[in-house]
């Protein structure tokens, strides 16, 4: 073995994960948000098959596939062509796919079906599904119905060439969420871990009082919970939403300025499970500040991902 070859084996290898950003930029139009993410040199983009392409106050830009003309569809697909990877965030506002009212339930199912069709048309390879919350009844009695619907969409995404990633948030415990993903038991279905969606998990509520949120032990407990989900999901972790969290309030989707999320530990855990997905930024803020927030977050993530 030559010295040069030995040094190449010992040299640090950059982490393999692609960085991306979400078009959830309030005050932007859809194409303005797409152009911003392209200009910032993100190889991954996540779009919303919901909402409106035009700038809309207090709303994220997006599209409704069944309302686009053929020319509009071609324009959108062309605008996304330069990205290495496209993902979508499926509709979630005002939907109830577990409603006892058949009309409400069917409308919700149809909305997701249409968004999946639009995702495939745009060239997406993964769609993020917000779990349907149950606020007034326990989850276990409805789990079979939940699983049946997700498997239905799983079969649909398989035909469309997509994967489906259930996002953390509900059920609101590590055990229940991981068990749901495993119970669906479909090769096209995995999970999206959002680093900011664990604040209401039973494990943390039992450990941390609201007034203690900013304490180091509380922040560590939060990060421990996220890492436990990642560890237990293993190959079923398909996708990640990344950002920062306000230590005092645990409000998520903040610029990477607080140091709340322990990204070095997170990345080590991703290596341990051989994660192969993307890291997609979901950052909120004033429209004029978003280019700076996204650029700074991109640069910070690149520094963490490139070994010294």
- What residue ranges in 93-221 does DSSP mark as E strands? 126-129, 163-167, 189-194
Write the CB contacts of 27 (distance below 8 Å, at least 6 apart in sequence).
55, 57, 286, 287
The domains found in the chain, sorted by start residue, are 16-305 (3.20.20.150)
- Between CA 26 and CA 293 the distance in angstroms is 13
Write the CB contacts of 280 (distance below 8 Å, at least 6 apart in sequence).
19, 20, 21, 22, 44, 46, 87, 239, 240, 241, 242
- Between CA 232 and CA 83 the distance in angstroms is 31
* Pair 89, 128: CB distance under 8 Å: yes
DSSP-derived letter for residue 95 is: -
| Residue from 7, 16, 4, 2 nearest 307 by CA | 16
* Pair 263, 301: CB distance under 8 Å: yes
In this structure, what token pair is assigned to residue 34?
């797409």
Number of helices and strands (H, E) in the chain?
10, 8
pLDDT of residue 74: 97
**pLDDT, tens digit only, all 308 positions of the chain:** 444 443 333 344 446 789 999 999 989 999 999 999 999 999 999 999 999 999 988 889 999 999 999 999 999 999 999 999 999 999 998 899 988 899 999 999 999 999 999 999 999 999 999 988 877 778 888 889 889 999 999 999 999 999 999 999 999 999 999 999 999 999 999 999 999 999 999 999 999 999 999 999 999 999 999 999 999 999 999 999 999 999 999 999 999 999 999 999 999 999 999 999 999 999 999 999 999 999 999 999 999 888 66
């Amino acid at each position: 073995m030559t010295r040069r070859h030995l040094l190449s084996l010992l040299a640090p290898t950059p982490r393999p994960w692609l960085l991306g950003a979400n078009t959830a930029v309030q005050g932007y139009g859809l194409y303005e948000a797409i152009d911003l993410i392209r200009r910032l040199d993100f190889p991954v983009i996540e779009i919303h098959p919901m909402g409106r392409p035009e700038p809309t106050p207090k709303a994220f830009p997006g599209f409704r596939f069944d309302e686009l003309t053929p020319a509009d569809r071609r324009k959108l697909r062309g605008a996304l062509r330069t990205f290495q990877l496209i993902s979508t965030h499926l509709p979630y506002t005002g939907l109830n796919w577990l409603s006892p009212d058949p009309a409400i339930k069917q409308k919700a199912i149809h909305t997701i079906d249409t968004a999946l069709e639009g995702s495939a048309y745009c060239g997406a390879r993964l769609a993020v599904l917000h779990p349907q919350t149950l606020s007034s009844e326990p989850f276990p009695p409805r789990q079979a119905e939940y699983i049946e619907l997700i498997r239905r969409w799983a079969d649909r995404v398989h035909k469309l060439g997509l994967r489906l990633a259930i996002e953390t948030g509900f059920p609101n415990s590590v055990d229940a969420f991981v068990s749901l993903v495993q119970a669906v038991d479909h090769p096209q279905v995995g999970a999206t871990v959002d680093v900011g969606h664990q604040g209401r998990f039973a494990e943390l509520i039992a450990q941390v009082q609201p007034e203690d949120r900013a304490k180091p032990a509380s922040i560590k407990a939060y990060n421990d919970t996220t890492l436990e989900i990642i560890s237990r999901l293993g190959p079923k972790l398909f996708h990640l939403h990344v950002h920062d969290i306000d230590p005092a309030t645990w409000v998520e989707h903040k610029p990477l300025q607080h140091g709340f999320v322990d990204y070095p530990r997170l990345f080590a855990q991703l290596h341990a499970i051989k994660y192969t997905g993307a890291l997609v930024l979901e950052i909120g803020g004033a429209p004029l500040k978003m280019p700076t927030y996204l650029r700074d977050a991109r640069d910070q993530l690149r520094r963490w991902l490139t070994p010294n």
